[in-house]
Chains A and B, each alone.
Chain A
């Protein structure tokens, strides 16, 4: 089954304790992206990756890191989490050629990771 898998789905942590949210897709997609969703602010892009070893900032990258060492994985790293990073996080993937206009550009989203930083 084609899917984007995020872990953990729920996490409560404390300020300053490094954490990683993993994201894996099994569709051989070149493009992967992280979003956060907050009430009243909608989905905001944190980082995205066009392909292995290629990453770029989205609109709200501060406080986050990413890496893309393998095509299927795109972990989101919070080196020193703060309460303002409490949010619902989504990973998404797509074929880049489709995003560029060759197809529907459909983004496949994971189920989300709800993070609370105390």
Chain B
């Protein structure tokens, strides 16, 4: 079956360092992959999309990579700040059905001042 895996353990880093979060998937060949940010008790907020033919995408301090051979996406936040503390979710469309966007469980990032 199709699965998305994100590290369920929280990631704790020091302010100013680069945070790297991982999204692995199996039995997928997604046309694209998305990353969302979710704050406690709030709805997820879209951050970035990367397509299967793109190796890397950047937006301000965010960088996403997509390795379709490894079936993995890496999400980087450079020069991290305490305000970056949140849960980050990756999402992919189900194979053959773009109406079904499947989410990983998310990784919680804690940036300490």
Contacts and interface: CB of A to CB of B under 8 A. Distances in A.
Contact of A107 (B8, B32, B44, B106): B44
Interface residues of B, number: 25
B98 interface: yes
Contact of A48 (B43, B46, B91, B100): B100
A15 interface: no
Interface string B3-18: 0000010000000000
A43 B89 contact: yes
Interface in B25-54: 31-32, 34, 36, 41-46, 49, 51
Interface in B65-113: 89, 91, 93, 98-106
Nearest to B4: A42
A101 B31 contact: yes
Contact of B98 (A100, A108, A110): A100
B56 to A, nearest CB: 16
A37 to B, nearest CB: 9
B32 A105 contact: yes
B99 A31 contact: yes
Nearest to A44: B103
Contacts of B44: 43, 90, 107, 109
B46 A112 contact: no
B102 A99 contact: no
Contacts of B98: 99-101, 105
Interface of B: 8, 31-32, 34, 36, 41-46, 49, 51, 89, 91, 93, 98-106
The 8 closest A-B pairs by CB, nearest first: A109-B43, A42-B105, A106-B46, A43-B103, A104-B49, A100-B98, A99-B98, A48-B99
